[in-house]
Structure 1
Amino acid sequence: MQLQDIMTRRIATVHQDDRLEVVKDIFEQAPFRHLLVVDDEERLCGVITHADMYRALSPYLATDAELERDRDTLQRRAHQVMSREPVTISSGATLASAAGLMLERNISCLPVVDNLLLQGVVSWKDLLRVLIK
């Protein structure tokens, strides 16, 4: 079985200059934990995980202790917190090679890229779903 058979094709992306406020809104409304970051030509340039975003935001947001400087963390840009040069894989790769790459690089998702074009994304949960079927 190849990744093209299981990858998520409907992917959410943000642009590298989008503010963390946008990223936070997407994560709060969607059930996934990875956002792919693209440049002005829609080329993949990074990944932001749910954890990356929360590390960048003030822990005092939406609390009684919130100050202006806490709200300012929402104005940071995606490129300031994303993981750069993400590890990618092709749609024709096997599930075993994807799993091995995730374990080797200690990552939880792989953007699927063919001929420099973003095709989808596969996560460790996608691989587990196939395993239990």
Structure 2
Amino acid sequence: MKVGKMMSANVVHVGLDDPLHKVKAIFERTKFHHLLVIQSGKLWGVVSDRDLLKSVSPNVGTITETLRDVASLNKKVHQIMTRKPITLSPDADVHEAIHVFNEYNVSCIPILNIDGSVAGILSWRDVFKALEAYQLKKRQNKE
């Protein structure tokens, strides 16, 4: 099974200098857990919801919020993102993706076309969904 068949092609991205309040807003209104950081058509990194949680004051949005807490939302994406993420091509096999997830302890893999442009993003959940669908199809074909 190729990762190009499993990946999410609908990629939401941010830029290097986007403020964290933009990232927070995207995570709050979508079900995504990772955003690709793209500048001038090139992949620069990945920012996760966990990266955001570690970088923003836990008091934001609470009654004890201070100006300093709110200021943590003005940090830039490039300050918290994971740089040089491990990538695969759409033609990579699912076993290669599983190896990357296990070996590098990542929860998403950007999928790049041969020209370096972003084709999609693959999460371990995408792999599980594809494997489940494959097994279901196999069972239905036996019946």
SS of match in other structure, 1:122: strand
Structure 2 equivalent of residue 24 of structure 1: 24
- Could you tell me the TM-score, scaled by structure 2's length? 0.90
Structure 1 equivalent of residue 101 of structure 2: 102
Moved more, 1-10 or 19-28: 1-10
Structure 2 equivalent of residue 85 of structure 1: 84
Measure the CA separation in 1 of the matches of 2:80 and 2:97: 25
Measure the CA separation in 1 of the matches of 2:119 and 2:99: 20
Deviation at 1:77, TM superposition (A): 0.3
Measure the CA separation in 2 of the matches of 1:35 and 1:130: 21
> Which of these two proteins has the greater Rg computed from alpha carbons?
2
**Runs of at least 4 residues of structure 1 off by over 2 A?**
none
Measure the CA separation in 2 of the matches of 1:55 and 1:16: 18
- Could you tell me the TM-score, scaled by structure 1's length? 0.97
Please, which runs of 5 or more residues in structure 1 have no aligned partner?
none
Aligned residues: 132
Letter in 1 for 2:110: P
Structure 2 equivalent of residue 64 of structure 1: 63
Measure the CA separation in 2 of the matches of 1:10 and 1:130: 16
Identify, as 1 or 2, the structure richer in helix: 2
Please, which runs of 5 or more residues in structure 2 have no aligned partner?
134-143
